[in-house]
Amino acid sequence: MTGAAGTTEGFISSKQHPNTQQQKQQQLPADCLPCFGGLGLYSFYQAQQLPKTLVARRLGLGLMGTAFIGAAVYRLTMPINQETTSSSSSVE
């Protein structure tokens, strides 16, 4: 992308800043706990909104909600990776 005058002054390339590559490697992965919990609760909510005659679909959504809630509980109790925390504390 270029600016109004046709230049790229506002953009910084990784060649100018070699630390950019190291910073990307030291970033922690995104946390998936809120996603799994939210999807599980939303699945339960949607299963309750369906008509009672659609038993198979309600059961499927309920099972999917249970799986997502289980994944959230697993993520909550998952041990913390000591390598990742030690490298992030050394950056400071």
Q: What is the pLDDT of residues 66-82, one digit of tens each?
A: 999 999 999 888 877 65
CA dihedral angle for residue 40, residue 43, residue 44, residue 50, rounded to 10 degrees: 180
Residues 30 and 40: their CA atoms lie apart, in Å, by: 18
Q: What is the pLDDT of residues 14-27, one digit of tens each?
A: 455 556 656 665 66
11 domain-assigned: no
55 domain-assigned: yes
Average pLDDT of 62-67?
96
Average pLDDT of 48-60?
94
Contact 50, 58 (CB under 8 A): yes
42 domain-assigned: yes
Residues 63 and 44: their CA atoms lie apart, in Å, by: 9
Q: 19-26 and 82-91 helices cross at what angle (nearest 10)?
A: 140
How many domains is the chain built from?
1
Residue 91 has pLDDT above 60, yes or no: no
Average pLDDT of 56-64?
96
Task: Indicate the average pLDDT of the chain.
Answer: 76
Range of the domain at 72: 31-78
